[in-house]
Amino acid sequence: MSYLKDTGLLILISIFLFSLVNKILNPDSTINLIKNKNMPFPILSYLSAIAMLSFGSLSIILNRMGYVSKDIAKRGVEVLIVFTCLATYFFHNMFIDKSQRYYFEKNVAIIGALIYVRETL
């Protein structure tokens, strides 16, 4: 059972890890995207995204490895929930852009999965 839980967590967290790697490898395009969405303080927003994705993902992985407490992992999940809510609002808001409906719904499902993870850590 633990292997299935670990596999599920890894699959879920991989979404955030791939996003983190993409943002680190492409800072200019990420910052330009943030600017195009009229988010405040583009560079600070970029650095905040890196910090949120790093802390959230690593706290969950390190918890499963036994290196950090459940409380820290829960805070990490909460950070990923906030990150996903912000990304949904600024980048995938289907109420502003109907073409974003799929991504909006996907992010809502991810938020639901993160809430479940937080409550079952």
The residues, ordered by sequence, that sit 6+ positions from 24 with a Cβ below 8 Å of its Cβ are 50
CA 60 to each of CA 10, 26, 29, 41, 96: distance values in angstroms, whole numbers, following the listed order: 9, 25, 28, 28, 33
Kindly state the tokens that stand for 80. Answer: 């990923």
pLDDT for position 1: 59
**Confidence label for 60 from pLDDT (cuts 50, 70 and 90):** very high
**Confidence label for 2 from pLDDT (cuts 50, 70 and 90):** confident
The region, left, alpha or beta by phi > 0 then psi within -120 to 50, assigned to residue 15 is: alpha
**Confidence label for 19 from pLDDT (cuts 50, 70 and 90):** very high
pTM of the model: 0.95
pLDDT for position 70: 97
What letter does residue 38 receive in the DSSP assignment? T
Q: Where are the domains of the chain?
A: 2-120
